[in-house]
Structure 1
Amino acid sequence: MTTIVVVHTGPVTVQPLKDQLKEQLPDARVINIVDDSLLNDVRAAGHLTPEVTQRMYSYMANAQAMHADMILNACSSVGEAVDLLRGMIRTPIVKIDEAMALEASRIGTRIGVVATVKTTLEPTVRQIRKKAAEQKREVTVVERVAEAAFEALLAGDTERHDEILKRTIVGLADEVDVVVLAQVSMARLVPTLGATRVPVLSSPKSGVASLKGALESARSGTR
Protein backbone atom coordinates (compact mmCIF):
# COMPACT_ATOMS: atom_id res chain seq x y z
CA MET A 1 0.00 0.00 0.00
CA THR A 2 1.19 3.51 -0.83
CA THR A 3 1.93 5.57 2.28
CA ILE A 4 1.86 9.37 2.19
CA VAL A 5 2.86 11.53 5.15
CA VAL A 6 1.51 15.09 5.16
CA VAL A 7 3.25 17.67 7.35
CA HIS A 8 0.90 20.48 8.43
CA THR A 9 1.61 23.70 10.34
CA GLY A 10 -1.99 23.97 11.55
CA PRO A 11 -5.28 22.09 11.51
CA VAL A 12 -6.93 24.13 8.73
CA THR A 13 -5.05 22.32 5.96
CA VAL A 14 -5.88 18.80 7.17
CA GLN A 15 -9.42 18.37 5.78
CA PRO A 16 -8.89 20.03 2.35
CA LEU A 17 -5.90 17.78 1.69
CA LYS A 18 -7.59 14.68 3.08
CA ASP A 19 -10.42 15.32 0.61
CA GLN A 20 -8.06 15.74 -2.34
CA LEU A 21 -5.98 12.69 -1.42
CA LYS A 22 -9.12 10.59 -1.07
CA GLU A 23 -10.30 11.77 -4.48
CA GLN A 24 -7.02 11.38 -6.37
CA LEU A 25 -5.31 8.58 -4.42
CA PRO A 26 -8.20 6.67 -2.78
CA ASP A 27 -6.15 3.57 -1.94
CA ALA A 28 -3.28 5.40 -0.24
CA ARG A 29 -2.59 5.29 3.47
CA VAL A 30 -2.38 8.91 4.65
CA ILE A 31 -0.62 9.94 7.87
CA ASN A 32 -1.02 13.53 9.06
CA ILE A 33 1.59 15.23 11.25
CA VAL A 34 0.28 18.54 12.65
CA ASP A 35 2.35 21.05 14.62
CA ASP A 36 0.68 24.44 14.85
CA SER A 37 3.70 25.92 16.66
CA LEU A 38 5.59 25.89 13.34
CA LEU A 39 3.49 28.61 11.73
CA ASN A 40 3.17 30.51 15.00
CA ASP A 41 6.96 30.63 15.36
CA VAL A 42 7.45 31.70 11.74
CA ARG A 43 4.88 34.47 12.17
CA ALA A 44 6.46 35.63 15.44
CA ALA A 45 9.91 35.80 13.85
CA GLY A 46 8.63 37.20 10.57
CA HIS A 47 10.51 34.56 8.58
CA LEU A 48 11.54 30.91 8.50
CA THR A 49 13.95 30.15 11.35
CA PRO A 50 16.66 27.47 11.80
CA GLU A 51 14.67 26.07 14.73
CA VAL A 52 11.54 25.61 12.60
CA THR A 53 13.64 24.03 9.85
CA GLN A 54 15.11 21.62 12.40
CA ARG A 55 11.64 20.57 13.57
CA MET A 56 10.57 20.13 9.94
CA TYR A 57 13.58 17.86 9.48
CA SER A 58 12.58 15.77 12.49
CA TYR A 59 9.03 15.28 11.20
CA MET A 60 10.23 14.35 7.72
CA ALA A 61 12.87 12.01 9.14
CA ASN A 62 10.05 10.33 11.06
CA ALA A 63 8.08 10.05 7.82
CA GLN A 64 11.10 8.38 6.24
CA ALA A 65 11.28 5.97 9.20
CA MET A 66 7.59 5.15 8.59
CA HIS A 67 8.62 4.04 5.07
CA ALA A 68 6.52 6.73 3.46
CA ASP A 69 6.52 6.66 -0.33
CA MET A 70 6.06 10.44 -0.47
CA ILE A 71 6.01 13.38 1.91
CA LEU A 72 3.67 16.32 1.22
CA ASN A 73 4.53 19.68 2.76
CA ALA A 74 1.22 21.47 3.32
CA CYS A 75 2.34 25.01 4.16
CA SER A 76 3.91 27.67 1.97
CA SER A 77 5.33 29.54 4.97
CA VAL A 78 7.79 26.70 5.59
CA GLY A 79 8.16 25.64 1.96
CA GLU A 80 11.69 26.98 1.68
CA ALA A 81 12.76 24.57 4.43
CA VAL A 82 11.91 21.79 1.98
CA ASP A 83 14.49 23.12 -0.48
CA LEU A 84 17.12 22.42 2.17
CA LEU A 85 15.68 19.14 3.43
CA ARG A 86 15.35 17.49 0.02
CA GLY A 87 19.11 16.92 0.17
CA MET A 88 18.87 15.31 3.62
CA ILE A 89 15.75 13.14 3.41
CA ARG A 90 15.73 10.14 1.07
CA THR A 91 11.93 10.10 0.76
CA PRO A 92 10.74 12.42 -2.06
CA ILE A 93 9.10 15.62 -0.79
CA VAL A 94 6.39 17.48 -2.71
CA LYS A 95 5.53 21.10 -1.89
CA ILE A 96 1.80 21.80 -2.03
CA ASP A 97 2.21 25.07 -3.93
CA GLU A 98 4.96 24.19 -6.41
CA ALA A 99 2.65 23.04 -9.22
CA MET A 100 0.42 26.08 -8.71
CA ALA A 101 3.39 28.44 -8.96
CA LEU A 102 4.50 26.75 -12.17
CA GLU A 103 1.02 26.98 -13.68
CA ALA A 104 0.70 30.66 -12.76
CA SER A 105 4.04 31.53 -14.34
CA ARG A 106 2.91 29.87 -17.57
CA ILE A 107 -0.46 31.64 -17.75
CA GLY A 108 0.66 35.25 -17.77
CA THR A 109 3.33 37.81 -17.05
CA ARG A 110 1.39 39.74 -14.42
CA ILE A 111 0.61 37.48 -11.47
CA GLY A 112 -1.44 38.43 -8.41
CA VAL A 113 -0.86 36.71 -5.07
CA VAL A 114 -3.28 36.89 -2.14
CA ALA A 115 -2.52 35.85 1.44
CA THR A 116 -3.77 36.71 4.90
CA VAL A 117 -0.32 36.52 6.51
CA LYS A 118 2.90 38.05 5.16
CA THR A 119 5.01 35.01 6.08
CA THR A 120 3.01 32.97 3.56
CA LEU A 121 2.95 35.69 0.90
CA GLU A 122 6.71 36.24 0.62
CA PRO A 123 7.81 32.60 0.03
CA THR A 124 4.93 32.14 -2.44
CA VAL A 125 6.11 35.17 -4.42
CA ARG A 126 9.69 33.85 -4.42
CA GLN A 127 8.45 30.46 -5.57
CA ILE A 128 6.58 32.01 -8.50
CA ARG A 129 9.60 34.07 -9.54
CA LYS A 130 11.81 30.98 -9.32
CA LYS A 131 9.47 28.94 -11.52
CA ALA A 132 9.24 31.79 -14.04
CA ALA A 133 13.03 32.09 -14.15
CA GLU A 134 13.37 28.35 -14.78
CA GLN A 135 11.22 28.84 -17.88
CA LYS A 136 13.09 32.01 -18.85
CA ARG A 137 9.92 34.07 -18.41
CA GLU A 138 9.82 37.57 -16.94
CA VAL A 139 6.91 38.19 -14.61
CA THR A 140 5.59 40.98 -12.42
CA VAL A 141 4.04 39.91 -9.12
CA VAL A 142 1.31 42.02 -7.52
CA GLU A 143 0.95 41.27 -3.81
CA ARG A 144 -2.06 41.59 -1.53
CA VAL A 145 -2.09 40.81 2.21
CA ALA A 146 -5.62 40.71 3.62
CA GLU A 147 -4.54 41.10 7.25
CA ALA A 148 -8.01 42.08 8.40
CA ALA A 149 -9.25 38.70 7.15
CA PHE A 150 -6.76 36.86 9.34
CA GLU A 151 -7.74 38.92 12.37
CA ALA A 152 -11.38 38.09 11.69
CA LEU A 153 -10.51 34.39 11.49
CA LEU A 154 -8.67 34.56 14.82
CA ALA A 155 -11.76 36.16 16.31
CA GLY A 156 -13.89 33.29 15.00
CA ASP A 157 -15.70 35.42 12.42
CA THR A 158 -15.33 33.19 9.35
CA GLU A 159 -18.06 35.06 7.48
CA ARG A 160 -16.13 38.34 7.67
CA HIS A 161 -12.89 36.51 6.83
CA ASP A 162 -14.46 35.12 3.66
CA GLU A 163 -16.06 38.43 2.72
CA ILE A 164 -12.76 40.33 3.00
CA LEU A 165 -10.87 37.70 1.03
CA LYS A 166 -13.44 37.51 -1.76
CA ARG A 167 -13.35 41.28 -2.13
CA THR A 168 -9.54 41.22 -2.24
CA ILE A 169 -9.43 38.42 -4.82
CA VAL A 170 -12.03 39.94 -7.15
CA GLY A 171 -10.40 43.36 -6.95
CA LEU A 172 -6.97 41.95 -7.75
CA ALA A 173 -8.37 39.97 -10.69
CA ASP A 174 -8.98 43.27 -12.50
CA GLU A 175 -5.26 44.10 -12.40
CA VAL A 176 -3.51 40.85 -13.36
CA ASP A 177 -3.46 37.87 -15.73
CA VAL A 178 -3.94 35.25 -13.01
CA VAL A 179 -4.57 35.23 -9.25
CA VAL A 180 -2.78 32.80 -6.91
CA LEU A 181 -4.22 31.94 -3.49
CA ALA A 182 -1.20 31.47 -1.24
CA GLN A 183 -2.89 29.36 1.47
CA VAL A 184 -4.52 25.93 1.21
CA SER A 185 -7.41 27.08 3.38
CA MET A 186 -8.46 29.63 0.73
CA ALA A 187 -9.33 26.97 -1.84
CA ARG A 188 -12.86 26.56 -0.49
CA LEU A 189 -13.62 30.14 -1.56
CA VAL A 190 -13.00 29.54 -5.26
CA PRO A 191 -16.46 28.06 -6.04
CA THR A 192 -18.12 31.04 -4.33
CA LEU A 193 -16.34 33.71 -6.38
CA GLY A 194 -18.55 33.38 -9.44
CA ALA A 195 -17.17 34.38 -12.83
CA THR A 196 -13.82 36.18 -12.57
CA ARG A 197 -12.02 38.01 -15.34
CA VAL A 198 -8.91 35.81 -14.96
CA PRO A 199 -8.15 32.32 -13.57
CA VAL A 200 -7.92 31.98 -9.78
CA LEU A 201 -5.54 29.19 -8.74
CA SER A 202 -5.49 27.31 -5.45
CA SER A 203 -3.01 24.66 -4.36
CA PRO A 204 -4.78 21.56 -2.95
CA LYS A 205 -5.90 19.98 -6.24
CA SER A 206 -2.77 20.75 -8.28
CA GLY A 207 -0.46 19.96 -5.35
CA VAL A 208 -1.95 16.50 -4.82
CA ALA A 209 -1.98 15.93 -8.60
CA SER A 210 1.75 16.74 -8.58
CA LEU A 211 2.28 14.25 -5.77
CA LYS A 212 0.33 11.61 -7.70
CA GLY A 213 2.48 12.27 -10.78
CA ALA A 214 5.65 11.95 -8.71
CA LEU A 215 4.45 8.61 -7.35
CA GLU A 216 3.71 7.32 -10.84
CA SER A 217 7.13 8.48 -12.09
CA ALA A 218 8.87 6.80 -9.16
CA ARG A 219 7.05 3.53 -9.81
CA SER A 220 7.79 3.54 -13.52
CA GLY A 221 11.43 4.26 -12.77
CA THR A 222 11.77 1.16 -10.60
CA ARG A 223 10.32 -1.26 -13.10
Structure 2
Amino acid sequence: MLEPRPLVAMIHAVPSGARVAQETFARDFPEARVWNVLDDRLLDDARAAGGLTDALRRRMLRLIGHVMDGGAQALLLTCSSYGEVVDTARTLWEAPVLKSDEAMFKAALAGPYRRIAVVASAAPAVPAAVAQLHALVPTVRPDRAVDIVTALSEDAAAAESPEDTARHLASALRAAGGGDVDAVLLAQYSLTPAREALTALLDVPVLDGAGAAARELRDWLAAAPSPAHTEVVAP
Protein backbone atom coordinates (compact mmCIF):
# COMPACT_ATOMS: atom_id res chain seq x y z
CA MET A 1 0.00 0.00 0.00
CA LEU A 2 1.36 3.39 -0.99
CA GLU A 3 2.06 5.64 1.97
CA PRO A 4 0.41 9.09 1.78
CA ARG A 5 3.68 10.92 1.07
CA PRO A 6 6.61 8.53 0.52
CA LEU A 7 10.05 10.15 0.53
CA VAL A 8 11.77 9.62 -2.82
CA ALA A 9 15.33 10.87 -3.23
CA MET A 10 16.84 11.83 -6.57
CA ILE A 11 20.55 12.34 -7.12
CA HIS A 12 21.33 14.64 -10.03
CA ALA A 13 24.50 15.51 -11.93
CA VAL A 14 22.95 18.12 -14.27
CA PRO A 15 20.58 20.92 -13.17
CA SER A 16 18.50 20.65 -16.35
CA GLY A 17 18.02 16.94 -15.75
CA ALA A 18 16.93 17.70 -12.21
CA ARG A 19 14.25 20.08 -13.47
CA VAL A 20 12.92 17.49 -15.91
CA ALA A 21 12.74 14.82 -13.21
CA GLN A 22 10.95 17.14 -10.77
CA GLU A 23 8.39 18.19 -13.37
CA THR A 24 7.78 14.57 -14.35
CA PHE A 25 7.33 13.41 -10.75
CA ALA A 26 4.92 16.27 -10.11
CA ARG A 27 2.84 14.95 -13.00
CA ASP A 28 3.21 11.16 -12.72
CA PHE A 29 3.93 10.62 -9.01
CA PRO A 30 2.44 13.62 -7.18
CA GLU A 31 2.13 11.66 -3.92
CA ALA A 32 5.91 11.59 -3.53
CA ARG A 33 7.87 13.96 -1.35
CA VAL A 34 10.90 14.55 -3.56
CA TRP A 35 14.34 15.09 -2.05
CA ASN A 36 16.80 16.49 -4.59
CA VAL A 37 20.55 16.12 -4.18
CA LEU A 38 22.72 17.81 -6.83
CA ASP A 39 26.45 17.35 -7.43
CA ASP A 40 27.03 19.33 -10.61
CA ARG A 41 30.65 18.17 -10.90
CA LEU A 42 29.79 14.49 -11.31
CA LEU A 43 29.45 14.56 -15.08
CA ASP A 44 32.33 16.97 -15.74
CA ASP A 45 34.67 14.91 -13.59
CA ALA A 46 33.63 11.71 -15.38
CA ARG A 47 34.30 13.37 -18.74
CA ALA A 48 37.71 14.58 -17.58
CA ALA A 49 38.61 11.10 -16.33
CA GLY A 50 37.41 9.40 -19.53
CA GLY A 51 34.70 7.50 -17.66
CA LEU A 52 33.91 6.38 -14.14
CA THR A 53 36.84 5.88 -11.81
CA ASP A 54 36.86 4.10 -8.46
CA ALA A 55 36.95 7.49 -6.76
CA LEU A 56 33.84 8.64 -8.64
CA ARG A 57 32.03 5.41 -7.82
CA ARG A 58 32.84 5.86 -4.13
CA ARG A 59 31.64 9.46 -4.33
CA MET A 60 28.28 8.39 -5.71
CA LEU A 61 27.94 5.67 -3.08
CA ARG A 62 28.55 8.29 -0.38
CA LEU A 63 25.74 10.39 -1.83
CA ILE A 64 23.46 7.35 -1.88
CA GLY A 65 24.37 6.59 1.73
CA HIS A 66 23.54 10.19 2.64
CA VAL A 67 19.95 9.98 1.38
CA MET A 68 19.43 6.48 2.76
CA ASP A 69 20.58 7.64 6.18
CA GLY A 70 18.13 10.52 5.80
CA GLY A 71 15.16 8.18 5.46
CA ALA A 72 14.66 7.90 1.70
CA GLN A 73 12.20 5.13 0.87
CA ALA A 74 13.32 4.96 -2.77
CA LEU A 75 16.07 6.48 -4.87
CA LEU A 76 16.42 7.47 -8.51
CA LEU A 77 19.79 8.30 -10.06
CA THR A 78 18.95 10.71 -12.85
CA CYS A 79 22.44 10.63 -14.37
CA SER A 80 22.74 7.66 -16.73
CA SER A 81 26.54 7.77 -16.62
CA TYR A 82 26.48 6.50 -13.03
CA GLY A 83 23.97 3.72 -13.61
CA GLU A 84 26.46 0.95 -12.90
CA VAL A 85 26.77 2.16 -9.28
CA VAL A 86 23.14 1.15 -8.75
CA ASP A 87 24.11 -2.52 -8.97
CA THR A 88 26.40 -2.03 -5.98
CA ALA A 89 23.86 0.09 -4.11
CA ARG A 90 21.23 -2.65 -4.39
CA THR A 91 23.50 -4.99 -2.46
CA LEU A 92 24.02 -2.43 0.32
CA TRP A 93 20.51 -0.99 0.88
CA GLU A 94 17.04 -2.55 0.93
CA ALA A 95 15.17 0.50 -0.41
CA PRO A 96 14.53 0.36 -4.17
CA VAL A 97 17.23 2.09 -6.20
CA LEU A 98 16.47 2.76 -9.85
CA LYS A 99 18.79 3.57 -12.72
CA SER A 100 17.73 6.63 -14.65
CA ASP A 101 16.54 4.88 -17.82
CA GLU A 102 15.99 1.31 -16.66
CA ALA A 103 12.21 1.44 -17.00
CA MET A 104 12.47 3.04 -20.44
CA PHE A 105 14.89 0.36 -21.64
CA LYS A 106 12.56 -2.39 -20.45
CA ALA A 107 9.67 -0.80 -22.33
CA ALA A 108 11.74 -0.43 -25.50
CA LEU A 109 12.94 -4.04 -25.44
CA ALA A 110 9.45 -5.34 -24.72
CA GLY A 111 8.07 -3.36 -27.66
CA PRO A 112 8.02 -4.26 -31.36
CA TYR A 113 11.19 -2.35 -32.23
CA ARG A 114 13.88 -4.23 -34.14
CA ARG A 115 16.43 -1.41 -34.52
CA ILE A 116 16.78 0.98 -31.59
CA ALA A 117 18.84 4.17 -31.45
CA VAL A 118 20.37 5.62 -28.31
CA VAL A 119 21.16 9.34 -28.56
CA ALA A 120 23.09 11.49 -26.09
CA SER A 121 24.85 14.80 -25.68
CA ALA A 122 27.37 13.57 -23.08
CA ALA A 123 29.91 10.91 -24.04
CA PRO A 124 29.76 8.81 -20.82
CA ALA A 125 26.00 8.33 -21.26
CA VAL A 126 26.40 6.29 -24.46
CA PRO A 127 28.31 3.21 -23.20
CA ALA A 128 26.32 3.29 -19.96
CA ALA A 129 23.03 3.12 -21.88
CA VAL A 130 24.21 0.39 -24.25
CA ALA A 131 25.51 -1.71 -21.36
CA GLN A 132 22.13 -1.47 -19.60
CA LEU A 133 20.26 -2.44 -22.76
CA HIS A 134 22.44 -5.48 -23.38
CA ALA A 135 22.14 -6.53 -19.73
CA LEU A 136 18.34 -6.48 -19.95
CA VAL A 137 18.04 -8.41 -23.22
CA PRO A 138 18.29 -11.94 -21.68
CA THR A 139 15.38 -11.30 -19.31
CA VAL A 140 13.18 -8.92 -21.31
CA ARG A 141 13.81 -10.05 -24.89
CA PRO A 142 15.53 -13.43 -24.96
CA ASP A 143 13.85 -14.66 -28.14
CA ARG A 144 14.24 -11.64 -30.44
CA ALA A 145 17.35 -9.94 -31.78
CA VAL A 146 17.84 -6.22 -31.33
CA ASP A 147 20.12 -3.91 -33.29
CA ILE A 148 21.38 -0.92 -31.29
CA VAL A 149 22.66 2.24 -32.98
CA THR A 150 24.32 5.03 -30.99
CA ALA A 151 24.74 8.70 -31.76
CA LEU A 152 26.51 11.40 -29.76
CA SER A 153 26.09 15.14 -30.31
CA GLU A 154 27.94 17.24 -27.76
CA ASP A 155 26.66 20.30 -29.66
CA ALA A 156 23.18 19.37 -28.44
CA ALA A 157 24.28 20.09 -24.87
CA ALA A 158 24.81 23.76 -25.74
CA ALA A 159 21.70 24.18 -27.89
CA GLU A 160 19.52 27.16 -27.01
CA SER A 161 16.14 25.55 -27.64
CA PRO A 162 14.55 22.09 -27.69
CA GLU A 163 14.20 22.41 -31.46
CA ASP A 164 17.94 23.07 -31.84
CA THR A 165 18.70 20.14 -29.55
CA ALA A 166 16.52 17.92 -31.71
CA ARG A 167 18.23 19.06 -34.91
CA HIS A 168 21.68 18.30 -33.49
CA LEU A 169 20.59 14.86 -32.30
CA ALA A 170 18.88 14.02 -35.59
CA SER A 171 21.95 15.08 -37.56
CA ALA A 172 24.24 12.96 -35.38
CA LEU A 173 21.94 9.97 -35.70
CA ARG A 174 21.81 10.19 -39.48
CA ALA A 175 25.59 10.55 -39.63
CA ALA A 176 25.89 7.39 -37.52
CA GLY A 177 23.77 5.45 -40.01
CA GLY A 178 20.64 5.50 -37.91
CA GLY A 179 18.24 6.83 -40.50
CA ASP A 180 16.10 3.69 -40.49
CA VAL A 181 15.66 3.01 -36.78
CA ASP A 182 12.30 1.95 -35.32
CA ALA A 183 12.58 3.93 -32.09
CA VAL A 184 14.90 6.43 -30.42
CA LEU A 185 15.84 6.43 -26.74
CA LEU A 186 16.99 9.62 -25.02
CA ALA A 187 19.97 8.64 -22.87
CA GLN A 188 19.75 11.73 -20.62
CA TYR A 189 16.91 13.43 -18.79
CA SER A 190 18.23 16.80 -19.93
CA LEU A 191 17.24 15.87 -23.50
CA THR A 192 13.58 15.22 -22.64
CA PRO A 193 12.34 18.70 -23.69
CA ALA A 194 13.48 17.88 -27.24
CA ARG A 195 11.42 14.69 -27.44
CA GLU A 196 8.46 16.08 -29.39
CA ALA A 197 10.65 18.00 -31.85
CA LEU A 198 12.84 14.94 -32.42
CA THR A 199 9.76 12.77 -32.97
CA ALA A 200 8.59 15.19 -35.66
CA LEU A 201 12.01 15.24 -37.36
CA LEU A 202 12.51 11.48 -37.41
CA ASP A 203 8.89 10.29 -37.59
CA VAL A 204 9.54 7.41 -35.17
CA PRO A 205 8.69 6.96 -31.48
CA VAL A 206 11.08 8.77 -29.14
CA LEU A 207 11.14 7.44 -25.58
CA ASP A 208 12.36 9.26 -22.47
CA GLY A 209 13.21 7.82 -19.07
CA ALA A 210 11.83 10.28 -16.54
CA GLY A 211 8.15 9.37 -16.78
CA ALA A 212 8.86 5.65 -16.91
CA ALA A 213 11.03 5.94 -13.79
CA ALA A 214 8.38 7.88 -11.88
CA ARG A 215 5.70 5.31 -12.66
CA GLU A 216 7.93 2.35 -11.82
CA LEU A 217 8.94 3.78 -8.45
CA ARG A 218 5.31 4.53 -7.69
CA ASP A 219 4.36 0.93 -8.48
CA TRP A 220 7.22 -0.42 -6.38
CA LEU A 221 6.23 1.64 -3.35
CA ALA A 222 2.55 0.82 -3.77
CA ALA A 223 3.33 -2.92 -3.76
CA ALA A 224 5.78 -2.80 -0.85
CA PRO A 225 4.55 -3.43 2.71
CA SER A 226 4.67 -0.41 5.00
CA PRO A 227 7.96 -0.46 6.90
CA ALA A 228 7.88 -0.94 10.63
CA HIS A 229 8.92 2.19 12.48
CA THR A 230 11.41 1.52 15.24
CA GLU A 231 13.14 4.02 17.45
CA VAL A 232 16.91 3.90 17.31
CA VAL A 233 18.63 4.98 20.51
CA ALA A 234 22.19 6.21 20.16
CA PRO A 235 24.66 4.43 22.42
Q: TM-score, normalised by structure 1?
A: 0.88
| Counterpart among 69, 72, 76 of residue 72 in structure 1 | 76
CA deviations on 1:197-216 (whole Å, 9 max, x unpaired) are: 32111111111111111111
- Whole-Å separation in 2 of the counterparts to 1:214 and 1:169: 34
Q: Identify unmatched segments of 5+ residues in structure 2.
A: 229-235
- Which of structures 1 and 2 has the larger relative contact order (alpha carbons within 8 angstroms, sep 6+)? 2
Q: Match of 2:233? A: none
Number of aligned pairs? 217
Q: Kindly state the Cα deviation for residue 120 of structure 1 after the two structures are TM-superposed.
A: 0.3
Question: Per the alignment, do residues 175 and 221 of structure 1 end up closer, same or farther by CA in structure 2, a change over 3 Å counting?
Answer: farther
Q: Match of 1:131? A: 136
| Residue 190 (structure 2) pairs with residue 185 (structure 1) | yes
- Whole-Å separation in 2 of the counterparts to 1:141 and 1:3: 36
Richer in helix (by share): 1
The answer to whether the 8 Å contact 1:173/1:196 transfers is no
- Whole-Å separation in 2 of the counterparts to 1:116 and 1:18: 21
CA deviations on 1:54-105 (whole Å, 9 max, x unpaired) are: 1111111111111111011101100011111210123210112001111122
Q: Match of 1:45? A: 49
Q: TM-score, normalised by structure 2?
A: 0.84
Report the 3-state secondary structure (helix = DSSP H, G, I; strand = E; otherwise coil) of the residue aligned with 2:224. Answer: helix
Q: Match of 2:34? A: 30
Q: Kindly state the Cα deviation for residue 169 of structure 1 after the two structures are TM-superposed.
A: 5.5
Q: Match of 1:101? A: 105
The answer to whether the 8 Å contact 2:165/2:194 transfers is no
- Whole-Å separation in 2 of the counterparts to 1:39 and 1:57: 15
Query: 161-170 or 123-132: which moved more?
Result: 161-170
Q: Match of 1:142? A: 149
Q: Identify unmatched segments of 5+ residues in structure 1.
A: none
Q: Which amino acid aligns with 1:115?
A: A
Q: Match of 1:19? A: 23
Moved over 6 A (4+): 170-173
**Higher Cα Rg: structure 1 or 2?**
2
Q: Kindly state the Cα deviation for residue 44 of structure 1 after the two structures are TM-superposed.
A: 1.1
Q: Which amino acid aligns with 1:141?
A: I
Question: Per the alignment, do residues 185 and 206 of structure 1 end up closer, same or farther by CA in structure 2, a change over 3 Å counting?
Answer: same
Q: Percent identity?
A: 30
Q: Match of 1:197? A: 203
Q: Which amino acid aligns with 1:202?
A: D
CA RMSD of aligned residues (A): 2.2
